[in-house]
Amino acid sequence: MSDGALSQAEIDALLSGVDSSSMGGHAPAATLSGNEEERKTLQNLLVETDENQGRALSTMTGTTVAFNGPEVSFSSRDSLLEQLPDQVSAVKVDFSAGFPGEHVFIMGEDTAKCIASLLNKEDNITLDEMALSVIGEVVSQLVGTQITALTKATNNTSVASVPPEATNVPKAVVALPNGTFPVALYNIDFGDGIQRQLWEVYGAAVLSNITKAIKSATAAKKTPSPQPAAATMPNMGGMPGSMPMQSYPMMGYPMPGMGGPTYIPPNVQSVQFPNLLPQNAAMEHGNIGLIMDVFMEMTVELGRTKKLIKEILSMGEGTIIELDKLAGEPVDILVNHKLIAKGEVVVIDENFGVRVTEIVSPAARVNGGK
Protein backbone atom coordinates (compact mmCIF):
# COMPACT_ATOMS: atom_id res chain seq x y z
CA MET A 1 0.00 0.00 0.00
CA SER A 2 2.96 2.28 -0.80
CA ASP A 3 0.86 4.70 -2.93
CA GLY A 4 -1.56 5.37 -0.03
CA ALA A 5 -4.56 3.70 -1.75
CA LEU A 6 -6.75 1.18 0.05
CA SER A 7 -7.16 -2.30 -1.38
CA GLN A 8 -10.64 -3.77 -1.92
CA ALA A 9 -10.06 -6.13 1.01
CA GLU A 10 -9.28 -3.22 3.31
CA ILE A 11 -12.32 -1.28 2.09
CA ASP A 12 -14.55 -4.29 2.82
CA ALA A 13 -12.98 -4.62 6.26
CA LEU A 14 -13.61 -0.96 7.09
CA LEU A 15 -17.26 -1.20 5.98
CA SER A 16 -17.82 -4.35 8.02
CA GLY A 17 -16.09 -3.07 11.14
CA VAL A 18 -13.28 -5.67 10.95
CA ASP A 19 -9.70 -4.89 11.96
CA SER A 20 -7.87 -4.60 8.63
CA SER A 21 -4.42 -4.73 10.18
CA SER A 22 -4.53 -8.52 10.23
CA MET A 23 -5.71 -8.86 6.63
CA GLY A 24 -3.12 -9.92 4.15
CA GLY A 25 -5.74 -11.07 1.64
CA HIS A 26 -8.91 -13.14 1.71
CA ALA A 27 -8.90 -16.00 4.16
CA PRO A 28 -10.45 -19.21 2.90
CA ALA A 29 -14.16 -19.58 3.71
CA ALA A 30 -14.71 -21.74 6.78
CA THR A 31 -17.76 -23.23 8.42
CA LEU A 32 -17.80 -22.46 12.14
CA SER A 33 -18.91 -24.98 14.71
CA GLY A 34 -22.27 -24.49 16.38
CA ASN A 35 -25.08 -26.33 18.06
CA GLU A 36 -25.59 -29.47 15.94
CA GLU A 37 -29.11 -30.03 17.26
CA GLU A 38 -30.13 -26.52 16.21
CA ARG A 39 -28.52 -26.98 12.78
CA LYS A 40 -30.41 -30.22 12.12
CA THR A 41 -33.67 -28.72 13.38
CA LEU A 42 -33.42 -25.79 10.96
CA GLN A 43 -32.35 -28.00 8.06
CA ASN A 44 -35.26 -30.42 8.58
CA LEU A 45 -37.71 -27.54 8.83
CA LEU A 46 -36.49 -25.88 5.63
CA VAL A 47 -36.28 -29.14 3.65
CA GLU A 48 -40.00 -29.62 4.30
CA THR A 49 -40.73 -26.24 2.66
CA ASP A 50 -38.66 -26.82 -0.50
CA GLU A 51 -41.54 -28.17 -2.57
CA ASN A 52 -43.94 -25.39 -1.54
CA GLN A 53 -41.33 -22.70 -2.14
CA GLY A 54 -40.55 -24.08 -5.58
CA ARG A 55 -44.27 -24.20 -6.38
CA ALA A 56 -44.72 -20.58 -5.24
CA LEU A 57 -41.84 -19.37 -7.40
CA SER A 58 -43.05 -21.41 -10.37
CA THR A 59 -46.47 -19.76 -10.12
CA MET A 60 -44.97 -16.27 -9.91
CA THR A 61 -42.38 -16.68 -12.69
CA GLY A 62 -44.39 -18.88 -15.08
CA THR A 63 -41.56 -21.41 -15.32
CA THR A 64 -40.63 -24.61 -13.48
CA VAL A 65 -38.46 -23.69 -10.49
CA ALA A 66 -36.61 -26.32 -8.46
CA PHE A 67 -35.26 -25.66 -4.96
CA ASN A 68 -32.25 -27.83 -4.10
CA GLY A 69 -30.98 -27.97 -0.54
CA PRO A 70 -30.76 -26.28 1.73
CA GLU A 71 -27.42 -26.94 3.38
CA VAL A 72 -27.42 -25.35 6.83
CA SER A 73 -24.14 -24.41 8.50
CA PHE A 74 -22.81 -21.90 11.01
CA SER A 75 -20.80 -18.96 9.79
CA SER A 76 -19.39 -15.59 10.78
CA ARG A 77 -19.57 -12.34 8.86
CA ASP A 78 -16.07 -12.78 7.38
CA SER A 79 -16.71 -16.40 6.38
CA LEU A 80 -19.97 -15.56 4.64
CA LEU A 81 -18.57 -12.52 2.82
CA GLU A 82 -15.92 -14.80 1.31
CA GLN A 83 -18.69 -16.86 -0.34
CA LEU A 84 -20.71 -13.95 -1.71
CA PRO A 85 -20.17 -12.18 -5.06
CA ASP A 86 -18.98 -8.57 -4.83
CA GLN A 87 -22.41 -7.08 -5.63
CA VAL A 88 -25.50 -8.62 -4.05
CA SER A 89 -29.22 -8.06 -3.60
CA ALA A 90 -30.17 -8.36 0.07
CA VAL A 91 -33.74 -8.57 1.37
CA LYS A 92 -34.17 -7.91 5.07
CA VAL A 93 -37.28 -9.61 6.52
CA ASP A 94 -36.71 -9.73 10.27
CA PHE A 95 -39.17 -11.73 12.36
CA SER A 96 -41.34 -9.27 14.28
CA ALA A 97 -43.35 -11.71 16.42
CA GLY A 98 -43.28 -15.33 17.50
CA PHE A 99 -39.49 -15.65 17.29
CA PRO A 100 -38.40 -12.01 16.85
CA GLY A 101 -34.92 -11.37 15.49
CA GLU A 102 -32.72 -10.96 12.42
CA HIS A 103 -33.58 -12.66 9.13
CA VAL A 104 -32.17 -11.77 5.70
CA PHE A 105 -32.01 -13.32 2.21
CA ILE A 106 -28.96 -12.64 0.01
CA MET A 107 -28.49 -13.41 -3.69
CA GLY A 108 -26.03 -12.44 -6.37
CA GLU A 109 -26.92 -9.58 -8.69
CA ASP A 110 -27.29 -12.02 -11.62
CA THR A 111 -29.80 -14.13 -9.67
CA ALA A 112 -31.82 -11.05 -8.75
CA LYS A 113 -31.91 -9.93 -12.39
CA CYS A 114 -33.03 -13.40 -13.50
CA ILE A 115 -35.96 -13.36 -11.05
CA ALA A 116 -36.99 -9.80 -11.94
CA SER A 117 -36.78 -10.57 -15.68
CA LEU A 118 -39.01 -13.64 -15.34
CA LEU A 119 -41.64 -11.78 -13.33
CA ASN A 120 -41.62 -8.61 -15.45
CA LYS A 121 -41.30 -10.49 -18.77
CA GLU A 122 -38.34 -8.29 -19.74
CA ASP A 123 -34.80 -8.99 -20.88
CA ASN A 124 -31.68 -7.04 -19.86
CA ILE A 125 -33.46 -5.67 -16.80
CA THR A 126 -31.92 -3.08 -14.48
CA LEU A 127 -32.17 -3.53 -10.73
CA ASP A 128 -33.97 -0.26 -10.13
CA GLU A 129 -36.54 0.45 -7.42
CA MET A 130 -39.31 -1.33 -9.34
CA ALA A 131 -37.23 -4.47 -9.91
CA LEU A 132 -36.14 -4.56 -6.26
CA SER A 133 -39.76 -4.35 -5.14
CA VAL A 134 -40.43 -7.45 -7.25
CA ILE A 135 -37.51 -9.23 -5.55
CA GLY A 136 -38.95 -8.23 -2.18
CA GLU A 137 -42.35 -9.67 -3.11
CA VAL A 138 -40.74 -12.99 -4.12
CA VAL A 139 -38.92 -13.23 -0.79
CA SER A 140 -42.15 -12.33 0.99
CA GLN A 141 -43.77 -15.40 -0.59
CA LEU A 142 -40.87 -17.61 0.57
CA VAL A 143 -41.10 -16.25 4.11
CA GLY A 144 -44.85 -16.84 4.13
CA THR A 145 -44.25 -20.50 3.32
CA GLN A 146 -41.73 -20.76 6.16
CA ILE A 147 -44.04 -19.04 8.66
CA THR A 148 -46.73 -21.61 7.81
CA ALA A 149 -44.26 -24.44 8.48
CA LEU A 150 -43.06 -22.78 11.72
CA THR A 151 -46.61 -22.36 12.97
CA LYS A 152 -47.35 -26.04 12.32
CA ALA A 153 -44.12 -27.27 13.92
CA THR A 154 -44.27 -25.08 17.05
CA ASN A 155 -48.02 -24.47 17.54
CA ASN A 156 -47.11 -20.77 17.74
CA THR A 157 -49.74 -18.84 15.78
CA SER A 158 -48.18 -15.42 16.35
CA VAL A 159 -45.18 -15.82 14.00
CA ALA A 160 -44.86 -12.78 11.71
CA SER A 161 -42.22 -10.79 9.83
CA VAL A 162 -41.69 -7.18 8.85
CA PRO A 163 -42.34 -6.06 5.24
CA PRO A 164 -39.38 -6.99 2.99
CA GLU A 165 -36.75 -4.33 2.35
CA ALA A 166 -34.68 -5.09 -0.76
CA THR A 167 -31.41 -3.34 -1.67
CA ASN A 168 -28.69 -3.89 -4.27
CA VAL A 169 -25.35 -3.12 -2.59
CA PRO A 170 -21.72 -4.20 -2.27
CA LYS A 171 -21.55 -7.31 -0.11
CA ALA A 172 -19.63 -5.57 2.69
CA VAL A 173 -22.59 -3.21 3.29
CA VAL A 174 -25.09 -6.00 4.03
CA ALA A 175 -26.31 -5.96 7.64
CA LEU A 176 -25.50 -9.35 9.17
CA PRO A 177 -25.87 -10.71 12.73
CA ASN A 178 -22.93 -10.48 15.13
CA GLY A 179 -20.83 -13.46 16.11
CA THR A 180 -21.71 -16.93 14.82
CA PHE A 181 -25.06 -17.37 13.06
CA PRO A 182 -26.83 -20.05 10.97
CA VAL A 183 -26.83 -19.82 7.17
CA ALA A 184 -28.99 -21.88 4.80
CA LEU A 185 -27.61 -22.21 1.26
CA TYR A 186 -30.01 -23.05 -1.58
CA ASN A 187 -29.29 -23.90 -5.21
CA ILE A 188 -32.17 -22.77 -7.42
CA ASP A 189 -32.82 -23.85 -11.01
CA PHE A 190 -35.19 -21.54 -12.92
CA GLY A 191 -35.76 -24.10 -15.66
CA ASP A 192 -32.61 -23.25 -17.63
CA GLY A 193 -30.37 -25.86 -15.98
CA ILE A 194 -28.23 -23.19 -14.26
CA GLN A 195 -27.80 -23.53 -10.48
CA ARG A 196 -28.03 -20.12 -8.82
CA GLN A 197 -27.28 -19.65 -5.16
CA LEU A 198 -29.45 -18.07 -2.47
CA TRP A 199 -28.29 -17.52 1.11
CA GLU A 200 -30.71 -17.24 4.02
CA VAL A 201 -29.34 -15.89 7.30
CA TYR A 202 -30.97 -16.19 10.74
CA GLY A 203 -30.02 -14.51 13.99
CA ALA A 204 -28.54 -17.02 16.46
CA ALA A 205 -31.23 -16.21 19.06
CA VAL A 206 -33.98 -16.79 16.48
CA LEU A 207 -32.78 -20.33 15.75
CA SER A 208 -32.31 -21.10 19.46
CA ASN A 209 -35.90 -20.09 20.25
CA ILE A 210 -37.27 -22.02 17.25
CA THR A 211 -35.43 -25.17 18.33
CA LYS A 212 -36.77 -24.93 21.90
CA ALA A 213 -40.33 -24.40 20.63
CA ILE A 214 -40.16 -27.38 18.26
CA LYS A 215 -38.77 -29.64 21.02
CA SER A 216 -41.54 -28.54 23.36
CA ALA A 217 -44.27 -29.11 20.75
CA THR A 218 -42.83 -32.54 19.85
CA ALA A 219 -42.69 -33.60 23.50
CA ALA A 220 -46.30 -32.53 24.02
CA LYS A 221 -47.42 -34.70 21.09
CA LYS A 222 -45.61 -37.75 22.50
CA THR A 223 -47.10 -37.42 25.99
CA PRO A 224 -50.15 -39.74 26.17
CA SER A 225 -53.33 -38.23 27.51
CA PRO A 226 -54.55 -39.85 30.77
CA GLN A 227 -57.23 -42.53 30.37
CA PRO A 228 -60.06 -42.81 32.92
CA ALA A 229 -59.83 -45.89 35.18
CA ALA A 230 -62.53 -48.55 34.80
CA ALA A 231 -64.97 -48.64 37.70
CA THR A 232 -65.22 -51.97 39.58
CA MET A 233 -67.88 -53.65 41.63
CA PRO A 234 -67.24 -55.47 44.93
CA ASN A 235 -67.71 -59.23 45.26
CA MET A 236 -71.42 -59.87 45.83
CA GLY A 237 -72.84 -63.41 46.25
CA GLY A 238 -70.87 -65.45 43.76
CA MET A 239 -70.06 -62.57 41.41
CA PRO A 240 -66.47 -62.18 40.22
CA GLY A 241 -64.34 -60.18 42.59
CA SER A 242 -63.85 -57.30 40.20
CA MET A 243 -65.86 -56.55 37.09
CA PRO A 244 -65.90 -53.42 34.93
CA MET A 245 -68.91 -51.25 35.70
CA GLN A 246 -69.72 -50.89 32.01
CA SER A 247 -70.36 -54.66 31.79
CA TYR A 248 -73.62 -54.25 33.73
CA PRO A 249 -76.92 -53.21 32.16
CA MET A 250 -78.43 -49.82 32.89
CA MET A 251 -80.55 -49.21 36.01
CA GLY A 252 -83.95 -50.91 35.71
CA TYR A 253 -82.65 -54.28 34.50
CA PRO A 254 -81.85 -57.29 36.75
CA MET A 255 -78.25 -57.61 37.93
CA PRO A 256 -76.72 -61.10 38.26
CA GLY A 257 -76.70 -62.60 41.75
CA MET A 258 -79.07 -59.97 43.16
CA GLY A 259 -82.72 -60.36 44.16
CA GLY A 260 -85.55 -57.89 43.86
CA PRO A 261 -87.64 -56.81 40.92
CA THR A 262 -86.60 -58.31 37.68
CA TYR A 263 -87.55 -55.38 35.47
CA ILE A 264 -88.42 -51.72 35.81
CA PRO A 265 -89.35 -50.08 32.49
CA PRO A 266 -87.03 -47.16 31.70
CA ASN A 267 -88.50 -43.74 30.96
CA VAL A 268 -87.75 -43.21 27.24
CA GLN A 269 -88.68 -40.03 25.39
CA SER A 270 -88.25 -39.19 21.73
CA VAL A 271 -85.54 -36.62 20.84
CA GLN A 272 -86.78 -33.34 19.39
CA PHE A 273 -84.33 -31.89 16.85
CA PRO A 274 -84.55 -28.20 15.82
CA ASN A 275 -85.74 -27.34 12.33
CA LEU A 276 -82.77 -26.73 10.02
CA LEU A 277 -84.76 -24.52 7.66
CA PRO A 278 -84.56 -20.69 8.05
CA GLN A 279 -87.15 -19.41 10.53
CA ASN A 280 -88.81 -16.08 11.10
CA ALA A 281 -86.50 -13.22 12.02
CA ALA A 282 -88.39 -13.00 15.34
CA MET A 283 -87.10 -16.49 16.23
CA GLU A 284 -83.44 -15.50 15.76
CA HIS A 285 -83.11 -12.72 18.33
CA GLY A 286 -82.01 -14.75 21.38
CA ASN A 287 -79.17 -12.88 23.08
CA ILE A 288 -78.12 -10.90 20.01
CA GLY A 289 -78.64 -7.72 22.04
CA LEU A 290 -75.32 -8.46 23.76
CA ILE A 291 -73.39 -7.64 20.57
CA MET A 292 -75.52 -4.82 19.19
CA ASP A 293 -72.81 -2.21 19.89
CA VAL A 294 -69.96 -4.14 18.19
CA PHE A 295 -68.45 -2.22 15.26
CA MET A 296 -68.17 -4.00 11.88
CA GLU A 297 -66.56 -2.82 8.67
CA MET A 298 -69.00 -2.24 5.80
CA THR A 299 -67.60 -1.93 2.29
CA VAL A 300 -69.20 -1.17 -1.07
CA GLU A 301 -67.30 -2.87 -3.88
CA LEU A 302 -67.62 -1.44 -7.38
CA GLY A 303 -65.82 -4.34 -9.06
CA ARG A 304 -62.62 -6.37 -9.25
CA THR A 305 -59.84 -7.22 -11.69
CA LYS A 306 -56.52 -9.10 -11.75
CA LYS A 307 -53.23 -7.56 -12.89
CA LEU A 308 -49.64 -8.70 -13.29
CA ILE A 309 -47.12 -7.21 -10.86
CA LYS A 310 -45.54 -5.47 -13.84
CA GLU A 311 -48.86 -3.79 -14.71
CA ILE A 312 -49.51 -2.70 -11.12
CA LEU A 313 -46.06 -1.19 -10.69
CA SER A 314 -46.41 0.74 -13.96
CA MET A 315 -49.63 2.48 -12.87
CA GLY A 316 -49.63 6.22 -12.51
CA GLU A 317 -51.97 9.19 -12.44
CA GLY A 318 -54.57 8.92 -15.19
CA THR A 319 -54.34 5.13 -15.51
CA ILE A 320 -57.74 3.56 -16.27
CA ILE A 321 -58.45 0.21 -14.62
CA GLU A 322 -61.13 -1.93 -16.26
CA LEU A 323 -63.29 -3.82 -13.74
CA ASP A 324 -65.26 -7.05 -14.08
CA LYS A 325 -68.69 -5.36 -13.90
CA LEU A 326 -70.72 -3.62 -16.57
CA ALA A 327 -71.98 -0.07 -16.19
CA GLY A 328 -75.30 -0.07 -14.37
CA GLU A 329 -74.76 -3.40 -12.62
CA PRO A 330 -75.52 -3.39 -8.88
CA VAL A 331 -72.56 -2.96 -6.56
CA ASP A 332 -71.70 -5.45 -3.81
CA ILE A 333 -72.20 -4.55 -0.15
CA LEU A 334 -69.85 -6.44 2.16
CA VAL A 335 -69.63 -6.65 5.95
CA ASN A 336 -66.24 -7.82 7.21
CA HIS A 337 -65.48 -8.86 3.61
CA LYS A 338 -68.60 -11.09 3.40
CA LEU A 339 -71.23 -10.31 0.76
CA ILE A 340 -74.59 -9.56 2.40
CA ALA A 341 -76.45 -7.37 -0.11
CA LYS A 342 -76.43 -5.61 -3.49
CA GLY A 343 -77.36 -2.04 -4.28
CA GLU A 344 -77.11 0.97 -6.58
CA VAL A 345 -74.94 4.04 -6.13
CA VAL A 346 -76.74 7.31 -5.34
CA VAL A 347 -75.64 10.88 -4.60
CA ILE A 348 -77.02 12.54 -1.46
CA ASP A 349 -76.06 16.19 -0.80
CA GLU A 350 -72.89 15.81 -2.90
CA ASN A 351 -71.94 12.63 -1.02
CA PHE A 352 -71.94 9.14 -2.48
CA GLY A 353 -74.27 6.56 -0.97
CA VAL A 354 -75.73 3.20 -1.88
CA ARG A 355 -79.38 2.15 -1.97
CA VAL A 356 -79.92 -1.50 -1.00
CA THR A 357 -81.81 -3.31 -3.75
CA GLU A 358 -81.30 -6.95 -2.74
CA ILE A 359 -80.46 -8.86 0.45
CA VAL A 360 -78.37 -11.95 -0.21
CA SER A 361 -79.90 -15.12 1.26
CA PRO A 362 -77.98 -17.05 3.96
CA ALA A 363 -77.39 -19.95 1.55
CA ALA A 364 -75.98 -17.57 -1.05
CA ARG A 365 -73.69 -16.00 1.56
CA VAL A 366 -72.16 -19.39 2.27
CA ASN A 367 -71.53 -19.89 -1.47
CA GLY A 368 -69.97 -16.46 -1.90
CA GLY A 369 -73.11 -14.74 -3.15
CA LYS A 370 -73.79 -17.21 -5.96
Amino acid at 10: E
Give Cα separations from 42 to 60, 96, 99, 195, 354 (angstroms): 26, 19, 13, 22, 53
Is the CA virtual torsion 155, 158, 163, 165 positive or negative? negative
**Count of Cβ atoms closer than 10 Å to residue 332 Cβ:** 20
Residue-level pLDDT at 281:
47
Give CA–CA dist 310/297, Å, rounded: 31
Evaluate whether the domain defined by 295-366 bears CATH number 2.30.330.10.
Answer: yes
Q: Which of 1, 51, 37 is nearest to 21 (CA)?
A: 1
Residue-level pLDDT at 186:
93
Residue-level pLDDT at 27:
37
Give CA–CA dist 212/35, Å, rounded: 12
Residue-level pLDDT at 205:
93
Is the CA virtual torsion 217, 218, 220, 225 positive or negative? positive
Give CA–CA dist 175/324, Å, rounded: 45
Residue-level pLDDT at 150:
92
Residue-level pLDDT at 346:
85
Residue-level pLDDT at 311:
85
Beta strands 95-97; 66-75: pairing state = unpaired
Give CA–CA dist 39/184, Å, rounded: 9
> Taking each helix axis from N to C terminus, what angle separates 129-154 and 109-120, rounded to the nearest 10 degrees?
100
Helices (H), 179-225: 204-222
Give CA–CA dist 182/102, Å, rounded: 11
Residue-level pLDDT at 322:
86
Residue-level pLDDT at 12:
56
Contact 163, 143 (CB under 8 A): no
Boundaries of every domain in the chain? 8-218, 295-366
Q: Residue ranges of the chain with pLDDT lower than 70?
A: 1-34, 224-290, 364-370
For the entire predicted model, the pTM comes to: 0.55
CATH superfamily, domain at 8-218: CheC-like (3.40.1550.10)
Distance linking the first and last C-alpha atoms of the chain: 76
Strands (E) located in 205-303: 298-301
